[in-house]
């Protein structure tokens, strides 16, 4: 079988290219009106930015500021700030970047399945020179660089720079201090043992300890609990091997075994609630916000909501006693290989990383990568951002578990539901995980 | 006897005949011109994509610019050994239950009731109003319907479980979380979605039934059920066929309700073939395998639709013969 495949693959490739080119031409034909490219100096140029952050978010507002600064600096350039959606960008990225009228700078999703593919297909410009020139590697450091770089096969973690992140995200346990007090817990736990005992106390007091969910349709909390436990016992190297498809990962060994068994134990003890397979993360959020559960595991996405909507006193902590915690860099800025105004694009990226813009994002709770947290006026937001800075500085972010291979998210979700329903044991899950991961890795390595 | 005149006339007639047949031929060629848009459309929308789909299903391919690797019939061999694929087909039986069987039966009864009873006792307006209400779910965007049903079926604080708990059941079912019953949750939503379609068609059909038949039967002492079974159903049989065929094809390729309500979960228990094909195509980047599923699905749909059309035609012939 292998010989046949190798023998025929060149022809297959040509056909695939022909088919792909035909598809691109067909779709692009409709958009082929008024295609113009100016040359010479900046005067009369149109600079196109394509991004998908909601203008109400911290990032969106930061970029509005960046836009003002950029326009002042380049008064002769007409700036076209286009907004699309995350899904539209994901689905159309190949057509957008491969067409004839290409934006100058785009926001795109990180990971092997998205940014990695675009990079390996030559649709994005390598940014190594610009990184050196502007010193972006001083602002984006450690694990924040991991998803900015992709190799020839499109695997993240090493290779050339293709994207520049502006901000990050991390996962914490939000907790309800009133319920903790009611259950007789006087202080936030600082070790794993204290954390488990706090869950037991909440359970004994008739309170669901952790608000969770495991629906295949948007029930991500259980997956995060599980991967937080994996991260708790993992080293940087183990996480990187798993995440960046480096070495062989043995899921029957620790940290996977220990974490998954503990996860099953927590399910059996009822620490994570019941009937989870039909719940979504939104329902988990609501259950916590309405004071029904002691804790909620989620990232900074829910931070402003907890801050503004709580009617109980609250706090947050990363899983106590953990070696690593979940989180990663955010979406990336990249320059299409066909972009007409590359120098302006680099200047735009540099503007978004400027102290003014970064501090604006920080002030609004958007976890900037190159901001000065001490300038944040709101004390809660400042402390929350500084905790993130600590984790970044310690280089202990473990990313999200569904990044490494295509289709991983649904696979993990389905098994989280099975474990939550007690239809699958830790050992059974780990065996399936091994197979799915190895198959996916093989497919990725094949290119 | 041939006079020069008659020869001339004959010549003239023959020439006219030739002209006519030529013009008939050109006219016929002209008709083909009218078919060109339809043929082009069929080619572009149905035949070429289908052929490409079959072609792609013979490769291992990640899509986009990735290389295509010849795989022969291996995708199909894998398909036959794929448990999830068979589960997806098994779930199709539930889809047929929720889209064809239950709605058609209830639709028949509802239409007859609206027409015979509500329409007579409360006026045509009341019947039309109720008919519109039954049809409402068909107009709602499926995304909205999906959200409504995820509230109805929610395990905690869900509408349905609220009712069940009020009836005194301590442990109401975990509709969307239990892999053994989630498929019934999907069926419930499908019935609700589908019911308006047969009702509207059957009510229109009932207008066509000669009222004298009913009157005569009633005079002979036939009750409502008897008339329903002996007159109503046989009279509107063609419409029943249409509903059953279109709904069956719809059931075989149902996609959006599953995507929105369960995402194929919990534990993969509500996967249907089109959703499984989509998942392979877009999420797992197994484009060849996804195409193989789509091809298999098309073949099943062709077969089922073919058999049903044949049955319908045979039924029609029998009726004319009788």
In chain A, the N- to C-terminal Cα span, in Å, equals 18
Q: What is the pTM of this model?
A: 0.82
Considering only CB atoms, which chain A residues are within 8 Å of B71? 5
Dig out the tokens for A333 from the structure.
Answer: 């800025």
pLDDT digits (tens, 9 = 90+) for B109-127: 999 889 888 888 898 899 9
pLDDT at residue A16, rounded to an integer: 46
Q: Is A19 in the B-facing interface, judged by CB distances under 8 Å?
A: yes
Q: Return the closest-CA partner of residue B101 out of B311, B276, B250, B264.
A: B250
In sequence order, the 6+-apart residues with CB closer than 8 A to the CB of B314 are: none
Helices (H), A150-296: 177-182, 192-204, 221-233, 236-243, 256-269, 281-289
Comparing C-alpha atoms, which of A104, A143, A110 is closest to residue A125?
A: A104
Give mean pLDDT, residues A359-370.
90
Q: Say how many CB pairs under 8 Å bridge A and B.
A: 127
- Clarify whether residues B36 and B156 are in a common domain: no
In order, the DSSP letters of A6-53 are: HHHHHHHHHHHHHHHHHHHHHHHHHT-SS-----SSSTT-EEEEEE--
Asked if the Cβ–Cβ distance from A9 to B67 is below 8 Å, we say: yes
Q: Are residues B146 and B279 in the same domain?
A: yes
- My answer on whether B114 and B43 are in the same domain is no
Burial class (CB in 10 A: 0-12, 13-18, 19+), A442: exposed
Smallest Cβ–Cβ distance between B283 and the set A4, A15, A406 belongs to: A406
Q: How far apart are CA A404 and CA A1, in angstroms?
A: 27
> How would residue A168 be classed by pLDDT, with cut points 50, 70 and 90?
very high
Same domain, B286 and B313: yes
A15 touches chain B (CB under 8 A): yes
Is there a single domain that holds both residue B46 and residue B99?
A: no
Residue B171 is predicted with a pLDDT of 86
- Whether A447 sits inside 8 A of B67 (CB atoms) is yes
pLDDT, tens digit, for every residue of A90-141? 777 878 888 888 999 999 988 887 888 888 888 899 999 999 999 999 999 8
**Residue A387 reports pLDDT greater than 70:** yes
Has residue B62 been placed in a domain? no
Place of tokens 């134990």: A265
Chain B residues in contact with A417 by the CB 8 A cut-off are 177, 179, 265-267
The residues, any chain, with a CB within 8 Å of residue A250's CB and separated by 6 or more, are A256, A434
In this model, does residue A20 exceed pLDDT 80? no
Q: What does the domain layout of chain A look like in residue ranges? A: 7-169+330-378, 172-324+405-446
pLDDT range class, residue A26, cuts 50, 70, 90: very low
List CB contacts (< 8 A) between B70 and chain A: 4-5, 8-9, 12
A192-201, A424-433, B59-68, B196-205: the lowest-pLDDT one: B59-68
Reported confidence tier of residue B284, pLDDT bands at 50, 70, 90: confident
Confidence band of A28 (pLDDT split at 50, 70, 90) = very low
Q: How many domains does chain B have?
A: 2
Q: Do B176 and A406 touch (CB under 8 A)?
A: no
* Per-residue confidence band for A37, with pLDDT thresholds at 50, 70 and 90: very low
pLDDT exceeds 90 at position A171: yes
Q: Are residues B139 and B8 in the same domain?
A: no
**What percentage of chain A has pLDDT greater than the value 90?**
62
Residue A193 has pLDDT above 90, yes or no: yes
Question: What ipTM does this complex have?
Answer: 0.77
**Contact yes or no for A277 and B66 at CB 8 A:** no
Check whether residue B163 and residue B41 sit in a common domain: no
User: How high is the pLDDT of residue B3?
Assistant: 54
- Name the residue range of residue B86's domain: 74-321
Which of A424, A97, A150 is CA-nearest to residue A277? Answer: A424
Name the fold adopted by A7-169+330-378: D-Maltodextrin-Binding Protein; domain 2 (3.40.190)
Considering CB atoms only, which of A5, A423, A447 is closest to B66?
A447
Asked whether residue B217 falls in the same domain as residue B100, the answer is yes
What is the dotted CATH code of the domain comprising A172-324+405-446?
3.40.190.10
């Amino acid at each position: 079988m292998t010989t046949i495949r190798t023998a025929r693959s060149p022809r297959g490739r040509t056909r695939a290219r022909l088919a792909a080119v035909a598809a691109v031409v067909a779709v692009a034909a409709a958009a082929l009106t008024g295609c113009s490219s100016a040359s010479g100096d900046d005067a009369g140029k149109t600079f196109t930015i394509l991004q998908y952050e909601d203008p109400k978010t911290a990032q969106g507002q930061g970029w509005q500021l960046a836009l003002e600064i950029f326009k002042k600096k380049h008064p002769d350039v007409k700036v076209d700030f286009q907004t699309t959606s995350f899904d539209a960008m994901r689905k159309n990225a190949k057509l957008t970047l491969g067409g004839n009228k290409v934006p100058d700078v785009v926001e795109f999703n990180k990971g092997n399945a998205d940014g990695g593919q675009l990079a390996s297909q030559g649709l994005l410009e390598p940014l190594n020179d610009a990184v050196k020139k502007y010193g972006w590697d001083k602002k984006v450091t450690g694990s924040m660089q991991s998803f900015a770089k992709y190799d020839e096969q499109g695997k993240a973690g090493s290779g050339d720079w293709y994207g520049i992140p502006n901000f990050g995200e991390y996962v914490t346990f939000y907790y309800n201090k009133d319920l903790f007090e009611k259950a007789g817990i006087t202080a936030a736990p600082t070790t794993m043992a204290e954390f488990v005992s706090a869950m037991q106390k909440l359970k004994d007091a008739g309170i669901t300890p952790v608000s969770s969910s495991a629906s295949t349709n948007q029930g991500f909390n259980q997956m995060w609990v599980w991967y937080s436990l994996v991260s708790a016992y993992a080293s940087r190297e183990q996480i990187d091997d798993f995440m960046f498809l480096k070495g062989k990962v043995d899921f029957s060994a620790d940290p996977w075994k220990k974490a998954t068994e503990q996860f099953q134990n927590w399910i059996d003890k009822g620490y994570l609630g019941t009937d989870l397979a039909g719940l979504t993360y939104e329902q988990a959020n609501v259950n916590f916000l309405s004071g029904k559960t002691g804790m909620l595991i989620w990232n900074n996405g829910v931070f402003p909501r907890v801050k503004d909507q709580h009617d109980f006193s609250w706090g947050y902590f990363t899983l106590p006693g953990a070696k690593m915690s979940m989180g990663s860099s955010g979406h990336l800025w990249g320059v299409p290989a066909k972009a007409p105004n590359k120098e302006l694009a680099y200047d735009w990226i540099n503007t978004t990383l400027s102290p003014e813009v970064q501090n604006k994002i920080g002030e609004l709770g958007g976890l900037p990568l190159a901001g000065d947290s001490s300038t944040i006026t709101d004390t809660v937001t400042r402390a929350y951002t500084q905790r993130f800075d600590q984790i970044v500085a310690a280089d202990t972010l473990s990313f999200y578990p569904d990044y490494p291979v295509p289709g991983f998210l649904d696979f993990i979700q389905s098994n989280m539901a099975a474990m939550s329903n007690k239809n699958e044991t830790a050992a059974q899950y780990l065996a399936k995980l091994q197979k799915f991961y190895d198959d996916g890795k093989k497919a990725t390595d094949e290119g | 006897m041939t006079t020069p005149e008659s020869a001339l006339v004959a010549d003239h007639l023959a020439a006219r005949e030739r002209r006519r047949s030529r013009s008939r031929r050109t006219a016929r060629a002209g008709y083909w011109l009218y078919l060109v848009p339809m043929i082009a459309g069929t080619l572009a929308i149905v035949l070429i994509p289908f052929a490409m789909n079959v072609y792609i299903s013979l490769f291992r391919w990640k899509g986009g610019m990735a290389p295509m690797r010849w795989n022969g019939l291996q995708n199909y061999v894998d398909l036959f050994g794929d448990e999830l694929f068979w589960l997806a087909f098994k779930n199709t039986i539930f889809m047929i239950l929720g889209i064809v069987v239950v709605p058609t039966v209830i639709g028949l009864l509802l239409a007859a009731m609206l027409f015979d009873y509500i329409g007579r006792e409360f006026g045509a307006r009341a019947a039309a109003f109720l008919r519109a209400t039954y049809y409402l779910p068909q107009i709602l965007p499926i995304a909205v319907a999906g959200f409504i049903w995820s509230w109805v079926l929610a395990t905690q604080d869900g509408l349905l479980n609220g009712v069940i708990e009020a009836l005194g059941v301590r442990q109401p079912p975990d509709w969307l979380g239990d892999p053994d019953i989630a498929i019934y949750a999907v069926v419930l939503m499908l019935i609700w979605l589908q019911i308006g379609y047969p009702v509207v068609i059957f009510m229109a059909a009932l207008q066509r039934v000669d009222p004298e038949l009913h009157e005569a039967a009633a005079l002979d002492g036939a009750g409502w059920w008897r008339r329903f079974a002996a007159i109503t159903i046989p009279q509107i049989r063609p419409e029943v066929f249409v509903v059953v065929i279109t709904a069956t094809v719809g059931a075989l390729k149902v996609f959006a309700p599953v995507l929105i309500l369960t995402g194929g979960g919990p534990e993969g228990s509500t996967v249907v073939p089109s959703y499984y094909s989509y998942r392979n195509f877009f999420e797992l980047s197994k484009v060849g395998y996804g195409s193989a599923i789509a091809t298999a699905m098309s073949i099943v749909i062709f077969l089922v639709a073919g058999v049903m059309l044949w049955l319908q035609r045979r039924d029609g012939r029998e009726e004319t013969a009788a």
